[in-house]
Amino acid sequence: MVFTSVVYFLFLICSLVVYYLLPARFRNYFLIAVSIFFYMYVKAAYIFIIAFIIIANYFLGNLIESSHSKKIRFRYLFLSLIINLGVLVFFKYWNFAVQNLFDLLGIFHIYKPIPVFLEIALPIGLSYYIFQTIGYITDIYRGSIKAENNFFHFTLFTLFFPKLLVGPIERANRFLPQLSKPKYFDTENFIEGSKRIVWGLFKKLVVADRIAIYQNAVMASTNEQSGSTLVFASILYTFQVYADFSGYTDIALGTARLFGFDLMENFKQPLLAKNVSDFWRRWHISLSSWVNDYVFNPIALKYRNWGIWSVFYALLISFVIIGVWHGASWNYVAFGLLQAIALIYETITKKQRKKLAKKIPVFLYNSISIILTFSFICFSLIIFRSEKFSDAENIIKGIFSNPGTLFFDNPSTLLFMLLGCVGMMIYDIQKEFKLPQLSFFTSKNWVLQQVAYAVLIIYILLAGVFDGGQFIYFSF
Amino acid sequence: MKIFNKLKRKGLSQFTLRFFVFLAIIFVLDFSIGRILKSFYFTQDSGLLFRTTFAMDSTTAQMLIFGSSTANHHYEPHSFENRLNVSLYNAGRDGNNIFYHFAVLQGILIRYSPKIAILDFNKLEFAKNPDSYDRITSLLPYYETNPKIRSIIELKSPYEKYKLLSKIYPFNSILFTVAVGNLDVNKDRKNNNDIDGYIPISKVWKNPLSLDTPVLKYEIDSNKVKYFRSFITECIKSDVNLFIVVSPRFIKYTTEDISIALAHEISDEFNIPFYDFSNDPYFLNHPELFADISHLNQNGAKIYSNKVIDKILDYHP
């Protein structure tokens, strides 16, 4: 059920009506039921995998908490990690691991039996809910949260449909306490949730899916495209991924808000980041903060006697994990490594950059920093999007060696695309720099605000791509 | 039962009022902008969108060409007009399929019956492909004006008729095209100068002959086959002499495409002449007649048109 489809909105309206008509004590149970329906609508069989993960982690979480021996607690944690990561590896990384193992054996001329490749589809949302449950179990082990005793609360924590398929990767200490509070219809939640959904639709339908039309045309024949076209397409791809993923997140957060829940923010104007570390504090925040808490900090702490090298080592491991989280492919590993290298560079040059910042006017320094960071992100996303290294190589070679004019097959697509990107960026700039003159959407004059949102909806109807595809981050 | 515990009566009425004001603003904007767009859509007098409107609502040509880009670029009207002594309009439109061709035919047959029609048929035409349903979008502006084609538009999705409650939706994504279609400058643009709907291409293909990568098996879309049959039966009912033709391509085919085979079989069933030029050796030896591997240039179109005319004259001397 795609978040931008008519079916989804029918489902949402019906669910909301029943949810608020039910007595408050039944509302969480109802949400579990609709979440199960929502997940099974994608593919019914996937429910068994998530059910297994819920049951296993619920009991292991409680066992960890009730055990007094550190050794036994660790064993339960270890068992939980084996289960969670085992499921993830089996469905997501098996074929990749087997292929690479056999390639490696081939290098050493070692006898290879027939490799066992599995023709299995990745259950949607697996990477998101597995990371969420690993976080939950680790927090219990560390003693930072208490295990959830209410099985239904834990089930809803894992299954809550707005965040089930593409996150945010929610934290137990933020979400579980919300389940104990009774939910009532609240006009503010309704208004703010609806506004968020409208913005999400704008980003997905007007910006991301419109750019996708251009991207598909260019990427179908990268060898024949001019360097200027490839640069333009690479810049647009950054806007596309951002609009697609943050658009989904907006709809997810807006939907959760309609039901009275507050999910964590996943984006904070990332395209206005002033350096790569700033970018990762603003981009896919639920994943980057998860990796920070459960990978980077423990590694950096464990090897703190290495000095600055512990940070470098932790960065490398963390960003390879972020890369591989996206999928079983070497281009994601390379994408992660590239981010880690950039962050190591930033750590090394921190003092010099500070000195430089003092010599240049703030506005100029910030503008250059934003442009450089944006350029780096555009470049690294060339690797991210390429299925094979040779694809990335072709694009990069083409940028520098194919002279020619900019390709655009349809002036309307180009105009709609650019207007969409400008609209999205104005909104981000207004939020980032708190510019009141751009804030029709937050105006205190309710008529002005209503007209602004009505115009936005009309623009979606005029320029949205209603035959667009799935969200990019569904495949992760 | 507590639903609105946070709301006082006053708050709720204010919220309801604002909600309805918001809906009213959207309704007024949607209705007025939609009506303006509709008016501008149907006042275009050049360009791609205009050609569809002209084919559906205005043409009275005795001979019509239906099909996708191969139809649009391959049938040179003067040759047909001179040798067959008929007027011709080319109703082909790039990237479309049998749903579009049948809808245009329906729009025409309510007004009059042409003498001859050619349906240009392509390889993979019957293949199941969601993109074919997305292409139905080009018919949305005619949902209100041509009730006979509504069932085709509703193939796009079961919710299409509800989406069409919005007056803007039928004109989604074509704002700039409609604006340009109303400007005089559009008539002077290259590729927009059609000759009775036909668009000649002047490019010359210089690369060697491509070998086909055969797609031996693919899923056949029963809706497409159904509408192909309906296209034939509607022509028969209206006494239109229909010819189904597969255009030449600069590709060497090694296997027979299952869509072409099925279309041939159905044509035989209805005694409709079916001519396949896809492996015609004359064209395969002349790259200079092509603009790209799928399309003939204007010289190629002239030669090909005469070959089609020969076949028509053989059939109806």
Taking 70 as the threshold, does the pLDDT of residue B274 lie above it? yes
What sign has the CA pseudo-torsion B25, B26, B32, B36? Answer: positive
* Helix ranges, chain B (H): 9-42, 48-57, 69-74, 77-84, 98-109, 130-134, 150-153, 160-163, 175-181, 185-188, 222-237, 258-269, 281-284, 298-315
Taking 80 as the threshold, does the pLDDT of residue B203 lie above it? yes
Cα separation, A474 vs A469, in Å, equals 11
Is A464 in Cβ contact with B22 (below 8 Å)? no
Residue in A182, A415, A466 nearest the CB of B176:
A415
Rounded to the nearest angstrom, the minimum Cα separation between A449 and chain B is 10
Is A186 in Cβ contact with B173 (below 8 Å)? no
Residue in B6, B163, B174 nearest the CB of A186:
B6
Q: Is A17 on the interface with B (CB under 8 A)?
A: no
Is B166 in Cβ contact with A461 (below 8 Å)? yes
The residue with tokens 């909301």 is A16
Is A185 in Cβ contact with B177 (below 8 Å)? no
Task: Tell me which chain B residue has its CA closest to the CA of residue A22.
Answer: B1
Task: Tell me which chain A residue has its CA closest to the CA of residue B22.
Answer: A450
Cα separation, B230 vs A200, in Å, equals 42
B87 neighbors B81 (Cβ within 8 angstroms): yes
Q: Is A446 on the interface with B (CB under 8 A)?
A: yes
Q: Which pLDDT belongs to residue A105?
A: 76
Is A464 in Cβ contact with B26 (below 8 Å)? no
Structure tokens at A107: 């290098």
Q: Which pLDDT belongs to residue A439?
A: 73
Task: Tell me which chain A residue has its CA closest to the CA of residue B175.
Answer: A462
Is A20 in Cβ contact with B3 (below 8 Å)? yes
Q: Which pLDDT belongs to residue B65?
A: 95
Angle A36-A151-A154 from CA coordinates, rounded to 5°: 65
Q: Is A457 on the interface with B (CB under 8 A)?
A: yes
Q: What's phi and psi for A322, nearest 5 deg?
A: -60, -45
Cα separation, A401 vs B212, in Å, equals 30
Chain A CB contacts of B33 under 8 Å are 458, 462
Interface subset of A 372-411, CB within 8 angstroms of B = 411
Task: Tell me which chain B residue has its CA closest to the CA of residue A188.
Answer: B15
pLDDT digits (tens, 9 = 90+) for B279-301: 888 888 888 889 888 899 999 99
Q: Is A20 on the interface with B (CB under 8 A)?
A: yes
B133 neighbors B227 (Cβ within 8 angstroms): no
Rounded to the nearest angstrom, the minimum Cα separation between B30 and chain A is 7
A252 neighbors A3 (Cβ within 8 angstroms): yes
Is A465 in Cβ contact with B159 (below 8 Å)? no
Is B30 in Cβ contact with A462 (below 8 Å)? no
Cα separation, A101 vs A103, in Å, equals 5
Cα separation, A411 vs B189, in Å, equals 13
Chain B CB contacts of A466 under 8 Å are 163, 169, 172
Q: Which residues of chain A have pLDDT under 70?
A: 110-119, 437-438, 468-476
Rounded to the nearest angstrom, the minimum Cα separation between B97 and chain A is 17
Task: Tell me which chain B residue has its CA closest to the CA of residue A10.
Answer: B159
Chain B CB contacts of A415 under 8 Å are 176
A423 neighbors A202 (Cβ within 8 angstroms): yes
Report the SS3 class of residue B245.
strand
A421 neighbors A239 (Cβ within 8 angstroms): yes
The terminus-to-terminus CA distance of chain A in angstroms comes to 16
CA distances from A356 to A341, A353, A443, B72, B290 (A): 21, 5, 39, 62, 60
CA distances from B84 to B73, B89, B117, B200 (A): 19, 14, 13, 20
Q: Which pLDDT belongs to residue B8?
A: 47
pLDDT digits (tens, 9 = 90+) for A461-473: 998 988 765 556 6
Confidence of residue B27 (pLDDT cuts 50, 70, 90): very high
What sign has the CA pseudo-torsion B41, B45, B50, B55? Answer: positive
Residue in B4, B22, B175 nearest the CB of A185:
B4
Is B7 in Cβ contact with A185 (below 8 Å)? yes
Q: Is A436 on the interface with B (CB under 8 A)?
A: no
Cα separation, A126 vs B252, in Å, equals 46
Which has more confidence, A389 or B265?
Answer: B265
Rounded to the nearest angstrom, the minimum Cα separation between A49 and chain B is 30
Angle B171-A413-A240 from CA coordinates, rounded to 5°: 115
Chain A CB contacts of B30 under 8 Å are 458, 461
Whether omega before A436 lies within 30 degrees of 0, making that bond cis, reads no
Q: Is A96 on the interface with B (CB under 8 A)?
A: no
Report the SS3 class of residue B55.
helix
Chain B CB contacts of A412 under 8 Å are 173-177
CA atoms within 13 A on the CB side of A78: 6
The model scores a pTM over 0.95: no
Rounded to the nearest angstrom, the minimum Cα separation between B145 and chain A is 20
Interface contacts A/B by beta carbons within 8 Å: 80
Is B1 in Cβ contact with A21 (below 8 Å)? yes
Rounded to the nearest angstrom, the minimum Cα separation between A245 and chain B is 22
Average pLDDT over residues B209-226: 81
Is A185 in Cβ contact with B172 (below 8 Å)? no
Question: Pairing mode, if any, of strands B63-66 and B274-276?
Answer: unpaired
Q: Is A184 on the interface with B (CB under 8 A)?
A: yes
Going by the DSSP 8-state scheme, the letter that residue B210 receives in this structure is E
Average pLDDT over residues B141-163: 91
Give the range among A208-217, B30-39, B259-268 with minimum mean pLDDT: A208-217
Q: Which pLDDT belongs to residue B2?
A: 52
Note the ipTM here. Answer: 0.81
Rounded to the nearest angstrom, the minimum Cα separation between B28 and chain A is 10
Is B172 in Cβ contact with A463 (below 8 Å)? yes
CA atoms within 13 A on the CB side of A275: 15
